[in-house]
Each structure stands twice: as C-alpha cells, then as structure tokens.
C-alpha cells in the first residue's frame, strides 16, 4: 500500500511539472530561442556548441511571436512539442536548422495552431521534425525550406500537414526528402487552399504506406494549384505521386490544377478519388509502375469516382512506362481527354496527350474505361504505329470490349507516331516547361531532345 501511495505522489508531481511548462503572456512579445534560454522554466538551454536544446514543450500564446534567428540550430528532445498559437517568424536571412537532439529521439515538432497565427517559413531545414499548421483565419508561406527524414510523430498526414481548413497557403522552392510519411497532406474533413510550386519531392513515404507524396483533400471554395514540381519516387510498391481526394463528398467550387509537373518512379502518377473537379495539364509521367499487382495500381492517371460527379480535364500530358495509361476503375465521372470538333465550344480540348509503352502482362493499355460514362479522347497520340481506328482500339478498353462499359470517342487522333520527334529552333520555343531526358525542367531549352506539352521536341 505504501508503494501505491508513493506512486500516486510521484504521478502528481510529474503531472504538476508538466502543467508548469512555459506559456508566454500574449502581450505582443517576440521570443527568440536565445531569449527563451534566459527565462527559467522554458526548457530551452544554450549549449556549449552554440545550439539550443529544447528539452520540454512550451507554448507561444496568441498575440506573441516565436522567431528563428540567422544560423540558429535548434535541437529537440524525444517527444517534445512546441505549440505556437501566435505567429511563427521562421525566416532567417540565410539559414537555420531544426533537428533532433540525439539518435533515436522522436520529437513531435511544431504545432502552429492559432486561429489567427500566420507562419512564415524561409531558409529553414526541418530534420526529423515536422510542422502541423491549423490557422483557420491565417496562412502558411514556406519558401526555400527543406523537410527531411520526418519521423511521422507530429502527424501521419505529412512532414508539412494541415489539421484545419485554411486558405492562401503557399509552398514554393522547397525540398521534401526521404520523409517516412507523405510530404504534404491534410485530413479528409478539412480541405485547404494551397499553391505548391517549383518544389522537389524525393523518395518520400519511406515507410512504404498507401499514400502519395502529395496527398490533399479538396473541397469548398479552396483552390489547389500544383505546378512545376518534380515528384520522384523511390520505386516503392505502395506510395504514389500526387493525389487529390474528396472522400466525404464535400461540396466544392474551388479550382484544382495539376500542371507542368515531372512525376517519375512512383507506384502511380496522379490519382483523384471521390468527387473532384480538376485540370491535369502538361505533366510528364514516366515509369510510375511499381505496384506489383496491376489490379491495384500503376496508372499514369487514375480517376476513381463512385459518386459519378467529378469533372476532369486532361490535356497535353506525356504518359510513359506505366502499367496503365489512364484508368477509370468505376463510376461515371465526366472526363474530357480531348474534344476537338468545335474550337469555339466551352468544352473544347485539343487533347495532345501522348501514350508510350504503358501496359502489363504483355498487353498495352493506354486507356481503360471500366466505368459507365462516355469519355471524349480525341486529338491524342496513342501507342500504335499508325493512328487508325482499328489500331487504337487495341490499346483502349471500353464499350467495344464490354457493352456494360462506357464508350470512348477517340477519333480523330493526333499523330502517326507516338515516338515522333518534332524539330524546332530555339527561337521557336513556346511558353511552358521543357523536360530533358533526365527529367530536368527548363523554360529556355538549348539544343537537345525535350518533352513539352505531350510531345517530344528536338531543339536545334
């Protein structure tokens, strides 16, 4: 019995110690880690090497600011969570690093949860540490930051995750490298407005779970714009490239655009799940084929919508080396893959998608329509030697193969040869990204072969 009371006494002391973690007073103060190290009870101490050890969690109240200074090195102990209900000014002039304090430590990272608290992240490396943002009336801006080796302890939704709906978020020029979970994500019930531009996503979801590297719920009036990124997988069998979903059927008026991205070596390239309206334009997808079971994945683009309410516009994409080109597993989504009959029509789409060597079990599958809707797919270049109706039928599965499936209207097609190379001079180049055969993008191609707007281009 004495041991039991001793245990209760110890637990009470421990709980009291936890309750005494530092909370700022919310009077508009700006706290640096150097300043916190001089305040008793914050859990922040200055180390002999000039770094700051955060051994206990603390809270920055609404109205206050937590600021990273130039060349700060912050080391977080196991299980430590820093909560910021105010603003996060993490924008040093040159660099700062936030990491774990020792091998084996799994800090919970930074939870930026203030309804009115903005977050400015710039020139910061987050190593083994993640960021959760939840500023309902605020926004996050990340520029030239690196998120790497995230342990998944702060959130399974991503190294950078959103736990409430918010708008005007921007992530640009950032690097997401070998995180155990996906790179950027949010919950199924909280769509966000976000622009993701010119970032590198490299070998994320190292835990090899069923998640894409970019995994976003869409809905409401929020716009999701994903442009000019490189999304390179680690040839993992479970993790994909880019995913947009609306699994709860949230009403939506926002715009969702996936454009000018290079997506390679993932389980699949791009997928939409549920009621999603999206434009998928001028992306280059190569070798997104690493699902060992073709019945479960391996598509360059997959449109899954049992609600039959999606509107998907697909133009100018290069799709090569997948187990499938485009798949529609079920439902009757409205898919416009090319509609060329009336250039003045509201739903005009020149097509210009190119399919190269997508298939499995010795069979080529450019477009597999297992749904019931009619799909317009004119103006595209199919993986056949000559773009005749008879030839193209061999690489499309639709009503002609099963009367219960939707029809694919694919004539007229675009080019006679899917591997044909169009020759131009450098002075003739058009706007947009050109990808060389190593997947490196440029807007000003010099001599060489590039992929641009669903075509192979030889620049002389």
Three-class SS state of 357: coil
Please give the torsion angle defined by the CA atoms of residues 28, 32, 35 and 41, in that order, rounded to the nearest 10 degrees: 80
H/E run at residue 12: helix 2-19
Report the relative pairing of strands 324-328 and 359-360 from DSSP bridges. Answer: unpaired
pTM of the model: 0.90
Q: Is 149 left (phi over 0), alpha (psi -120 to 50) or beta?
A: left
CA atoms within 13 A on the CB side of 16: 6
Full pLDDT tens readout for the chain, 460 residues: 333 333 333 343 333 334 458 999 999 999 999 999 999 999 999 999 999 999 999 999 999 999 999 999 999 999 999 999 999 999 999 999 999 999 999 999 999 999 999 999 999 999 999 999 999 999 999 999 999 999 888 777 899 999 999 999 999 999 999 999 999 999 999 999 999 999 999 999 999 999 999 999 999 999 999 999 999 999 999 999 999 999 999 999 999 999 999 999 999 999 999 999 999 999 999 999 999 999 999 999 999 999 999 999 999 999 999 999 999 999 999 999 999 989 999 999 999 999 999 999 999 999 999 999 999 999 999 999 999 999 999 999 999 999 999 999 999 998 655 556 677 776 667 777 787 766 677 888 887 888 777 677 788 7
Element of type H or E holding 13: helix 2-19
Buried b / exposed e along 38-77 (16+ C-beta atoms within 10 A): eeeebbbeeeeeebbbbebbbbbbbbbbbbbeeebbbbbb
Alpha-carbon distance 353 to 356, whole Å?
10
Give the Cβ contact number of residue 376 at 10 Å: 20
Rounded-to-integer distance, Cα 353 and Cα 300, Å: 12
pLDDT of residue 440: 74
Q: 């290069």: which residue's tokens?
A: 318
- For residue 412, whether the previous peptide bond is cis, meaning omega lies within 30 degrees of 0, is yes
Domain ranges, ordered by start, for the chain = 291-419, 421-459
Closest to 42 (Cα-Cα) out of 98, 1, 83, 90: 83
pLDDT at 433: 79
Nearest CA to 78 out of 185, 154, 178 is that of 154
CB 121 within 8 Å of CB 88? yes
How many Å from the N-terminal Cα to the C-terminal Cα in the chain? Answer: 88
**Structure letter (DSSP) for residue 406:** P
Q: For residues 176 and 198, what is the distance between their CA atoms, to the nearest angstrom? A: 12
- In this predicted structure, what is the pLDDT of residue 427? 65
């Amino acid at each position: 019995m004495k041991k039991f009371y001793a245990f209760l006494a110890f637990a009470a002391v421990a709980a009291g110690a936890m309750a005494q973690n530092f909370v700022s007073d919310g009077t508009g103060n700006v706290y640096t880690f150097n300043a916190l190290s001089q305040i008793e009870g914050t859990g922040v101490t200055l180390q002999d090497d000039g770094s700051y050890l955060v051994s206990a969690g603390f809270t920055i109240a609404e109205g206050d600011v937590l600021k990273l200074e130039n060349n700060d090195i912050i080391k977080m102990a196991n299980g430590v969570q820093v909560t910021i209900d105010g603003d996060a000014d993490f924008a040093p002039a040159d660099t700062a690093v936030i990491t774990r304090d020792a091998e084996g430590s799994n800090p919970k990272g930074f939870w930026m949860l203030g309804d009115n608290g903005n977050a400015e992240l710039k020139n910061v490396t987050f190593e083994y540490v993640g960021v959760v943002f939840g500023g309902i009336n605020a926004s996050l801006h990340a520029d030239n930051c690196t998120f790497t080796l995230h342990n998944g302890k702060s959130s399974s939704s991503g190294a950078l995750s959103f736990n409430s709906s918010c708008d005007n978020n921007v992530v640009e020029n950032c690097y997401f490298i070998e995180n155990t979970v996906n790179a950027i994500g949010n919950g199924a019930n909280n769509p966000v407005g976000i622009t993701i531009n010119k970032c590198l996503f490299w070998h994320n979801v190292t835990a090899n779970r069923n998640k894409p590297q970019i995994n976003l719920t869409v809905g409401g009036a929020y716009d999701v714009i994903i442009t000019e990124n490189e999304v390179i997988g680690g040839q993992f069998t479970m993790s994909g490239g880019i995913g947009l979903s609306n699994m709860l059927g949230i009403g939506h008026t926002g715009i969702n655009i996936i454009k000018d991205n290079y997506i390679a070596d993932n389980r699949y390239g791009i997928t939409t799940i549920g009621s999603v309206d999206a434009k998928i334009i001028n992306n280059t997808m190569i070798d997104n084929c690493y699902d060992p079971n073709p019945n479960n994945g391996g598509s360059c683009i997959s449109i899954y919508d049992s609600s039959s309410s999606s509107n998907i516009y697909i133009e100018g994409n290069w799709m090569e080396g997948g187990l499938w080109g485009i798949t529609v597993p079920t439902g009757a989504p409205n898919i416009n893959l090319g509609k060329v009959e009336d250039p003045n029509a509201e739903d005009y789409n020149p097509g210009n998608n190119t399919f190269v060597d997508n298939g499995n079990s010795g069979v080529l599958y450019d477009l597999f329509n297992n749904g019931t809707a009619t799909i317009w797919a004119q103006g595209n270049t199919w993986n056949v030697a000559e773009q005749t109706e008879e030839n193209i039928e061999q690489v499309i599965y639709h009503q002609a193969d099963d009367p219960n499936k939707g029809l694919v209207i694919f004539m007229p097609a675009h080019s006679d040869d899917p591997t044909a190379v169009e020759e131009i001079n450098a002075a003739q180049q058009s706007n947009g990204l050109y990808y060389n055969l190593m997947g490196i993008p440029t807007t000003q191609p010099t001599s060489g072969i590039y992929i641009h707007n669903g075509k192979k281009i030889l620049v002389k």
